[in-house]
């Protein structure tokens, strides 16, 4: 299929704060949304867009399918957004990209690091789903979303789920910086089955930091943890 996305129509496919940036561009933060987020066009620039623009960082929210689970189409879609921005601003393949997200978006941020055309330099994930085959059984609302994302894959559903499951991609994950935040009171994504298992497997051969957030539910970071989350993202651009 011919290329559909252009810089002129990018606003139909993603949110980007790039037009707010004055001066040199330092890199890009790609924020992946959680399950069911409809990715509505923002009426104005969100706070993240304003803050990152002041620091010379493009902040992008891809309008991926809200049940995408970072399947092959979502990876290609995100790559195309990055390509459009890089071509427009003359950014090379050495551009610093930080991949971030919450819940399904946390999974997406991790899985994107594995498959992206330009490998991010860091990933920061909040309460991420890490074991996708297990997650298929974790709640009654999940099988239909995963079937929607992976039903057209060749092979079995188990094989399809494993191809977008961070825990099952540990040996293929790139050598970059990873930080996982997880709320200890999470009632939607079991911390032991997901972040605990993933971090333990990653610690063998990867650089990974794990931040446990007490007394908070799913993706409900405390004020202190939110500051640390943002600091972790920004620190990747200072390396």
pLDDT tens string 186-198: 999 999 999 999 9
Q: What is the per-residue pLDDT for 2?
A: 78
Q: What is the per-residue pLDDT for 45?
A: 83
Name the band, by pLDDT with cuts 50, 70 and 90, for residue 239: confident
Name the band, by pLDDT with cuts 50, 70 and 90, for residue 223: very high
Structure tokens at 118: 């330009």
Q: What is the per-residue pLDDT for 168?
A: 98
DSSP string, 123-148: EEEES----HHHHHHH-TTSHHHHHH
- Rounded-to-integer distance, Cα 234 and Cα 239, Å: 10
DSSP string, 31-95: EEPPTT---PPPSS--HHHHHHHHTTEEEEEE---TT-TT-HHHHHHHHHHHHHHHHHHT--TT-
- Grouping H, G, I as helix, E, B as strand and the rest as coil, residue 19 is helix
* CB distance 128 to 189 below 8 Å: yes
* Domain range annotation of the chain: 10-238
CA 29 to chain CA mean position, Å: 9
Q: What is the per-residue pLDDT for 7?
A: 98
Query: Any idea which fold 10-238 has?
Result: Rossmann fold (3.40.50)
- Rounded-to-integer distance, Cα 217 and Cα 41, Å: 27
Residues 26-30 have a mean pLDDT of: 98
Percent of the chain with pLDDT over 70: 97
- Grouping H, G, I as helix, E, B as strand and the rest as coil, residue 117 is coil
φ and ψ at residue 131, rounded to 5 degrees: -115, 95
Residues 213-225 have a mean pLDDT of: 97
């Amino acid at each position: 299929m011919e290329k559909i996305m252009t810089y002129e129509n990018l606003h139909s496919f993603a949110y980007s704060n790039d037009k707010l940036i004055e001066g040199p561009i330092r890199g890009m933060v790609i924020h992946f949304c959680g399950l069911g987020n409809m990715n509505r066009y923002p009426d104005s620039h969100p706070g993240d867009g304003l803050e990152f623009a002041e620091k010379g960082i493009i902040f992008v929210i891809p309008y991926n399918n809200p049940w995408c689970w970072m399947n092959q189409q979502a990876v290609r879609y995100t790559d195309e957004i990055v390509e459009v921005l890089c071509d427009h601003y003359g950014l090379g393949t050495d551009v610093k990209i930080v991949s971030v997200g919450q819940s399904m978006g946390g999974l997406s941020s991790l899985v994107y690091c594995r498959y992206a055309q330009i490998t991010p330099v860091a990933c920061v994930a909040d309460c991420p789903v890490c074991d996708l085959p297990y997650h298929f059984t974790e709640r009654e609302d999940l099988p239909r979303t995963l079937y929607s994302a992976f039903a057209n894959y060749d092979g079995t559903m188990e094989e399809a789920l494993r191809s977008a499951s961070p825990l099952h991609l540990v040996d293929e994950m790139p050598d970059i910086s990873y930080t996982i935040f997880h709320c200890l009171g999470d009632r939607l994504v079991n911390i032991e089955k997901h972040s605990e298992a993933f971090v333990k497997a990653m610690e063998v051969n990867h650089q990974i930091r794990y931040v446990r957030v007490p007394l908070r539910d799913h993706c409900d970071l405390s004020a202190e943890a939110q500051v640390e989350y943002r600091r972790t993202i920004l620190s990747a651009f200072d390396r």
